[in-house]
Amino acid sequence: MTSRDAPLRFLSQLATSSVDAWKTLGETAYPGELTIATDNSVYRFRSGVFVSRAKKPARFFDAPKAMRGLALIGFLHEDDAEDLWTLSAAWRPGSHAVLWRVGGTDAASFVLTSPTASFALDEPEPKPDPDFNPWSMRRSPSHSGVLVMNAPRRTARPPSFRMPLPPSMTRLHPAASVPSER
């Protein structure tokens, strides 16, 4: 094996103890739509799973059969000073994206991109809580952590707007005193 195979050997050794963690990594570390660009290609992922790729300068995306189902497990960075490889879920400019055939532990189960130039993650909007009621005020615990039990629950309501009553039509208003002539 050559020195170019060193990262693949490192990943296959790491796979024996990390397979279970890598299976769930995509949904937690890379939720939503993810785009990674290198000097030669742009890769798209959904929840850490490969969706498509566009080779530059072409502007269309394809999904090669050999890449379907690959999972993004992190970014591989070489520390030149110590000749060590580091695999991290955090992106660093110049690191290699590591794509993994789920369940594989040999070097052929991994694909490394060329050094990455950009990383963009569009996280999905959180799903609304079906039990959420914006009009009910829930007390949050105090800073001391003590909750007051049996406290009356306050219900917030939308603001009410009351129109002022019209002036009375039956009220008698004293007439202005008119000087009488004698």
pLDDT surpassing 70 at residue 44: yes
Element (H, E) at 42: strand 41-46
pLDDT score for 95: 92
Q: Is residue 155 part of a domain?
A: no
Q: What are 115-125's pLDDT values in tens digits?
A: 999 998 887 77
Q: Is residue 102 part of a domain?
A: yes
pLDDT surpassing 50 at residue 145: no
Q: Is residue 153 part of a domain?
A: no
pLDDT score for 157: 63
Q: Which two tokens stand for residue 90?
A: 């955090």
Q: Is residue 113 part of a domain?
A: yes
pLDDT score for 158: 65
Q: Is residue 76 part of a domain?
A: yes
CA distance 25 to 72: 8
Q: What is the mean pLDDT of the chain?
A: 76
Kindly state the DSSP code that residue 13 receives in the 8-state scheme. Answer: H
Looking at the structure of the chain, the number of domains it has is: 1
Q: What is the pTM of this model?
A: 0.62
At a CB cut-off of 8 Å and minimum separation 6, what does 69 contact? 49, 50, 101, 102
